[in-house]
Amino acid sequence: MFFENIEQFLLHFLTSFAYDPFAFYGIIILIMTLATFGLPVSEEVVIISAALVTYMGAHPEIYPPPLFAIEEAQSPVQPVTTALVCFLSVFLSDLLVYMIGFIFRGKIINHPILKKIISQKRKEKINLWISKYGYFVSGMFRFTPGLRFIGYLTCGVVRIPIHKFILINGGVALLVVPSQVLIISIYGETIISNLKFVAAILAFLFFSFTTVLIFSYLYKLMKQKE
């Protein structure tokens, strides 16, 4: 019930800024950053809420704009801009966590506060993934909300090359985040009722993308050995 109330509150809150684009985009950036560091709202909830607000703004015949927006002829938030803001918020937040791990290394990963929050089992799981999948794991964490923060932090701690982190993590975020925003902002409530199906498609696209990259990498290694 708590999280349902959070989702409803967030959607209602963002809706009040549907005709104030600068405030709307600024709030998305702020919430995304805070969510990265523990605010009890998932990135997915923020993305879906933002996309629904753009859908409402694009359909004034269904969702009439407020009086001040009509009087001042203000335009609603735009789907493409919202998609770009959401993508940059997600990617730069991930990169910030990575850089914290990269700079502080063991000091941050072994900090007493993190030790209390993050179980040893989670740490072991992340280390296993990194040893098994290498730098491709930076894209896999996009689909594991419970491991996302410590996962990106660990990517920095173990010094996964920053250009590879940006390429893999940024590529996956670019594939997933804008597509979510644009699809929901166009189809709105219809897509929400089939959200699990959409999520399955996005997951399939991601794993297909990752598989191609892995096989390409292995193929290059085999060629070099020959």
pLDDT, averaged across the chain: 79
Tens of pLDDT, residues 157-210:
888 889 888 998 898 899 889 988 998 888 876 665 665 565 566 666 666 666
- What string of DSSP letters covers 171-206? HHHHHHHHHHHHHHHHHTHHHHTTHHHHHHHHHHHH
Q: Which residue has the higher pLDDT, 32 or 153?
A: 32
What does the pLDDT look like over 111-163, one tens digit per residue? 666 666 666 666 677 777 777 777 778 777 787 777 788 788 888 888 888 98
pLDDT of residue 44: 84
Mean pLDDT of 71-91: 91
Q: What are phi and psi of 52, to 5 degrees?
A: -65, -35
